[in-house]
Structure formats: structure tokens, C-alpha cells
Structure 1
């Protein structure tokens, strides 16, 4: 049994669930040092200093450091070299700042100072012994955007450093606690239930989603709608517009404070239309599909990778027009849709299946470092 230290500057949401999930299901001894999940830009700049100080105070002596993409790993290792100089390190990318679609209204974009976050990702990947991505799409997009990014500089671009990162990179899908949904009984409501269970942010493309909902209402096609997910101080205006226009269809609107409420809506959902512009994996989508929702996914991002090939034609769409057609067809054939479940194909992402893969990989990294 090895000792592994997870270093997480942004201990919230999927980052937090992932760290705790692995800790609960691993055969290794896992400790976590973390910072609260807020001020993500400051976490990428200064989090390494705070976490290095925390690590210097701990008595835990790890065999491997497992850090998330929000950590400036180079700074962390420099400030802890008395304890980490001989330790192997693995860097796990939940997301990256090179291929993540920044909002045009972001002040750093407007002032052209957003590039440094991507550079932190690159140098952290160079410093790590192993670089891990939650999907093949994520890995390929990082490598592509990394080279494009480095070509912007006047000399000594070091574009070959991306090739070095590629050689030590691999895909390690996200582990998810899917078994926690097993005790919730699936329940079908009178009207077909359409589900939104993503963050209320621009990169999830809520405008396209609600545009499709507005069209259904205009055609007098009956449906109900549950809008879940975390919202923030500045959310897209379309959510307020939808709350008004779809007041008769919406049966839940807002974040679920506990697992049971969240699971209840997932296990009642019939159709999951996804319009996201960004998703490096899609944990909320995997959860909804596991609970029985019928997915309608864009034929891009990580989705073709997660969905078995034989289901692509039925569940992947090319444009908004095709999505609207697929939603309408699903609603008109709701009894048939309710008898289709892809849950068995997504069990592979449960921690009971994923944890042994993680454990074996990290054991091999430790052995290689000391061989």
C-alpha cells in the first residue's frame, strides 16, 4: 500500500468530489491538502505558496504527489524541495486554461492578460512525472492548443515541450460515485420531464437550451422542466427570462442542497438535451444517464468518446435544428423512450471500477521512479 498526497487548490465541485471519491475507494492511503474552492485565478497564482506551507507542516510522508490542474506545480515543488525532491508527481487535468472557452466579458480577456494561466498549465505538465487527462478529447485539445499558444511568442518558443508532455500523458477517466444513486427508485411523472443539471454559466450554452424549450412551448407540446445546477453571483440573463416564460413548465428551479433532492430529479428525468460548448468529461451527464435519462448530446467534445459507438446515431446531433427534431420526437414517443436505459454502459465510471485502475497506475509510477 502506497501513501499518496492529493494537492487541490480548488476544493469544490467536481474537484472535491473526485478527490474524496478516490480517497474513499482507493486501496492506498490517501491524504488531501486543499484550499477553499473560490477565487480560481488567485488559486492558480498563489495557491501553490499556501499549499506548500501546509505541506511543510504535515507529518504525512507520501510516496507520490497527485496534484490537480489548478496548482502551479513548479512553484509548489520549489518551495517543498526538502521533502519532494525525490518524490514522483502526477498532474490530473480536470480542465485546462488553453482550450477552455473564456468569456469575452472577462476582464483578463479584455486586458489581454489571460494567457498566463495556460502557461502555468504547460510548465506544471513539464514538471510532472506523469500527466493525466479525464478524456481523450481533453488530451488532444490540450496538445493542439499548447503548440498554438507557444507559437505566439517571439523566439525560443519551445514548441517541442508539448511533445515531451505528450510522451508522458495518458487518459484516466473521471471516477464518479454512481452507486449512491442505486437506492433511489426511478419515477415517471405525468408530463415528460426534461432536465438541465449543469452549472449556470455561459460555457454550458444555456441560450441554445432554453431556445429549444421556448420552441416546444410555442408549439404547445406538453413537457415539464427541472433546472438544477450551481449558480453564481453573475449568471447569464437567459435563466431569469426562462423562469418567466416557462413558469408553467418549470417544476424545479435552482441548486439542490442535498444529494437526495438531486438524485430524485435525476431519477425522474426522461430527456437530457445537452447544448454545452465546453465539457472535458461530463460528470453531470454521466450521472443523469446512469439514473435513466435519455441523452441528446452534441457530436463533439468528449461525448462521442463516452457514448458507445452503436448509440451515436440515436443520441448525437449535429446542429440546433437536429436537436429540436430529436427532442420533439422523444416527447412524442415518450413511452418508448422511458423503456430505454444506457445505465449499464456507464457503470464503468463508478469508483468501484475506476479506483483499481488509479491504484495500479500510481503504484507503477512510484515503482518506476525508484527503479
Structure 2
């Protein structure tokens, strides 16, 4: 195996990237640790991998995320130190938000600086990530009381480059509402839809009953004009193989019916303080106090310590909640995103934002802070500067949900797809680097 993949925190986007590369890059092998106890992974994973990665003369390239202290590993394993070492930053600890400055553990950022010094190539998932890291090195090292190292930014910068996180967007097919389909895909979708109607629908469709029904609302819900809370798919197997196609034989959407549904808001982020759930829930509470109709799906992965705000607002939001909690089935996760109207980020920390791009791919209108990586990814119309601006935008959408349901995203998310980025990744990870690496 010429490509050695090492992931010290095998979960979330870290797992997503490693699985994709391991699947797509021939002659690769992957070693990982579960995505638990992040702080201990950052402190001690080098020692674990030193003992558990067998020596091999076939290794040529080592690719790892910045959770691993690469300097420790190559010191412990001189054979791995001879490889072409590539370090990938999903985030950086120099500007990672902490609640109080004294809570910042110097060691994590210091480990990342050391890893950059021993790597041949340092890759960041966004320009924001790269520049925030490099420009913070000097001020970060001022925490050292004396005998501080100098000129580390100038030593590391020439190794650095930006290579966006590659997303394998699912083929949603007919599960995307008719009014959200892009013009270039409408013909194919309508052709497939016509075919599915003639072969898949029950005989009573001849009366036209199903022709006027929203495929994303059950027949019973449409009869009553209400949506019921859907069960959270907590029991789906995390190891379940999920195909990259989500299809539906449902008939076309009755847009007049859709416009009667409350705005469906989705928050698809980790349940941790750096995603600022407090601002998100306080915004929803203001909508509720003003008597504005909306439904909400709060998704995202949870860890050992769940902020208390989630338990509090689950009760407060009551019947407005459609989905609550992590959906381990990717197919179900994308189905919920394709049903939603608006995807919200309130993050205090975001260096790329896979969840928001996936939501946009599924037809959601994004609303993101005008900070962090978001101005690099989204046009100005999708950004807000203050929580008050977020509430104002949501208030407008609650009263006119058709505004977002008819909206076509202004941007190009295909540039973040694996198809668009695969060539650069293959060149980067080749044993013999090419001109694009």
C-alpha cells in the first residue's frame, strides 16, 4: 500500500474524508481511532499509531489530519518520517473558540505548529482556515513566557495550500421538490417522473387524486392540512451501507398546497457550544412569541456532553418540532434536508461547513453569519451580521415561505464536489507528485 491514511479522530467530516479517499484512491490503507475523547486523541494518538501501524516498505505517502501530532509520530517511527507527509486541516486550534481565554490549552495549537514544521505539504479546507492559522502563529506563541521561537509563519507558509473539502453530493432525483429543480435537470426529471407514474402508481391515480398531492407530505397529513412529527431514526445502523442515490416515484408538487405549509427550518450541526445553539433557539423563541408559524428539524451529531439548551428548548418548541436528533442513516438525513426550506448556521466556529453545503444541495435556502468561512462560500444575500438580522429574515420567510421555496440558489456548489476536486486530490496523494499537487 503506497498511501498511508491516518485519522486520530475518525468521525464526522474527518471520517467522511478518509472514507472517500480510501475508497477512491487505489493502493491505500487506513488506520484510525474512534471519534471519542478528542483531547486525548490529540495528546496521545501518536503513541498508539507508533505501536499499531505495521512497518512496510511499500508506503510512499502519509496523509493525516491535524488532530495527530505528526512530529511525535515521525520521531517515534523514523520509517514513517521518510515518507512524503501531508497534513490536512479541518480546523485549527489557534483560533478555535473557547468560552474563556484561560480555557485555551496551549498544547493543542502548539502540536499543530510542530506538525506543520515536519510535514512536506500542509493543506487547508478553506482560505479562511489557512490565513487565520498562519496569521495567528505570532500572537499565539506570545503565550510562551520567554525564549520564543521566531519566523515560524515564514517557515510554514510556503508549504501551505487550499484544497476544499470534497463532498460526495447525493443524487436526489425526484426526491427534490419540483419547484427546486435546476432548469437543466428539469427535462430529465420530468421524463423520469412521467415514466414512474405510468409504472409505479396505484390505479386510483387515474382519478387525479395523487396528482395534486405534495410527495413530501403523507396522504393523511394532506387530508387534514397538518404535518405530524416524524419519528427520529435513532435505531438506524451507523454501519449501514447507504447508496448515493435517493429516488422517488412521487408525482409533481402542487405548489399552491406547498405555500400553505409553515416554513420548515433546519439546523444540521453538532450539538456543541461552538455552533452557538443558544442564538439559534433564542431566534426561534422570538418567532414563536410573535405568533409566526414554523416547523423545525434539529439534526446533527451529539457527544457525551450535550448543552442544556437542547433539553430546554425541545420542550419549549413543542409541536413545532418535526425531527430532533442525529439521523445515522444518510438517506434519511438527506430526505429531511430536501423537505426543509431554510438551513441556519449560528456558528462561532466554522472553517468549511459541509452540513450547510449539503443542505443547499438539497434545496435549502442558507442563512449564515457574515464571518468565519461563510463569505468565502456564500453570496452576500445569504449572510447576516447580527442575531437581530437573522430574526428579521426568518420573520419575513415565516410570513412568505413561498419566497424561499421558489428561490434558486445563487452560486455554484459543484466546485466543492468530489468530481470537481478528485484530480487535485489524486495528484496530491500520488507517490510521484504531479504539476497540480
Question: Shift in Å at residue 146 of structure 1?
Answer: 1.5
Q: Normalized against structure 1, the TM-score is what?
A: 0.90
Separation in 1, partners of 2:73, 2:434: 23
Q: 2:83 aligns with which of 71, 83, 87?
A: 87
Q: Classify 1:364/1:339 alpha carbon distance in 2 versus 1 (closer, same or farther; 3 Å).
A: farther
Q: 1:101 aligns with which of 80, 97, 100?
A: 97
Find the residue that maps to 2:301 and give its secondary structure. Answer: coil
Q: Which runs of 5+ in 2 are unaligned?
A: 178-215, 218-257
Separation in 1, partners of 2:263, 2:409: 18
Separation in 2, partners of 1:255, 1:343: 29
Bigger Cα displacement from structure 2, 32-41 vs 324-333:
324-333
Separation in 1, partners of 2:332, 2:161: 36
Bigger radius of gyration among the two: 2
Matched, 1:147 2:129: no
Bigger Cα displacement from structure 2, 358-367 vs 5-14:
358-367
Separation in 2, partners of 1:60, 1:7: 17
Deviation digits for residues 185-207 of structure 1 (CA, Å, limit 9, x no counterpart): 44476222000110111100011
Q: How much is the aligned-residue C-alpha RMSD, in angstroms?
A: 2.1
The answer for the alignment partner of 2:61 in structure 1 is 64
Matched, 1:263 2:261: no
Separation in 2, partners of 1:25, 1:330: 41
The answer for the alignment partner of 2:50 in structure 1 is 52
Separation in 2, partners of 1:96, 1:58: 30
The answer for the alignment partner of 2:297 in structure 1 is 226
Separation in 1, partners of 2:174, 2:67: 34
The answer for the alignment partner of 2:70 in structure 1 is 73
Q: Classify 1:77/1:184 alpha carbon distance in 2 versus 1 (closer, same or farther; 3 Å).
A: farther
CA contact (8 A) 2:262 2:401 kept: no
Bigger Cα displacement from structure 2, 211-220 vs 327-336:
327-336
Deviation digits for residues 71-123 of structure 1 (CA, Å, limit 9, x no counterpart): 11011111221x23432111001112211112449xxx55x7x1111100100
Find the residue that maps to 1:91 and give its secondary structure. Answer: strand
The answer for the alignment partner of 1:24 in structure 2 is 23
The answer for the alignment partner of 1:331 in structure 2 is 398
Separation in 2, partners of 1:104, 1:365: 45
Separation in 1, partners of 2:74, 2:334: 40
Q: 2:429 aligns with which of 350, 356, 362?
A: 362
Question: Shift in Å at residue 365 of structure 1?
Answer: 6.8
Question: Shift in Å at residue 358 of structure 1?
Answer: 0.9
CA contact (8 A) 1:63 1:366 kept: no
Q: 2:287 aligns with which of 185, 206, 216?
A: 216
Q: Normalized against structure 2, the TM-score is what?
A: 0.77
Separation in 2, partners of 1:60, 1:198: 41
Q: Which runs of 5+ in 1 are unaligned?
A: none
Bigger Cα displacement from structure 2, 341-350 vs 87-96:
341-350
Matched, 1:33 2:31: yes
1:305-324 to structure 2, matched below 5 A, reads 305-307=376-378, 311-312=379-380, 314-324=381-391
Separation in 2, partners of 1:115, 1:340: 45
1:102-181 to structure 2, matched below 5 A, reads 102-104=98-100, 109=102, 114-179=105-170, 181=172
Separation in 2, partners of 1:159, 1:244: 53
Q: Classify 1:184/1:356 alpha carbon distance in 2 versus 1 (closer, same or farther; 3 Å).
A: farther
Question: Shift in Å at residue 127 of structure 1?
Answer: 0.6
Question: Shift in Å at residue 344 of structure 1?
Answer: 6.6
CA contact (8 A) 1:25 1:351 kept: no
Find the residue that maps to 1:267 and give its secondary structure. Answer: helix
Q: Classify 1:127/1:318 alpha carbon distance in 2 versus 1 (closer, same or farther; 3 Å).
A: same
Find the residue that maps to 1:174 and give its secondary structure. Answer: coil
Find the residue that maps to 2:123 and give its secondary structure. Answer: strand
The answer for the alignment partner of 2:238 in structure 1 is none
Bigger Cα displacement from structure 2, 325-334 vs 237-246:
325-334
Separation in 2, partners of 1:13, 1:183: 27
Deviation digits for residues 222-259 of structure 1 (CA, Å, limit 9, x no counterpart): 11001111122321111112111110211111111211
Q: 1:196 aligns with which of 243, 267, 276?
A: 267
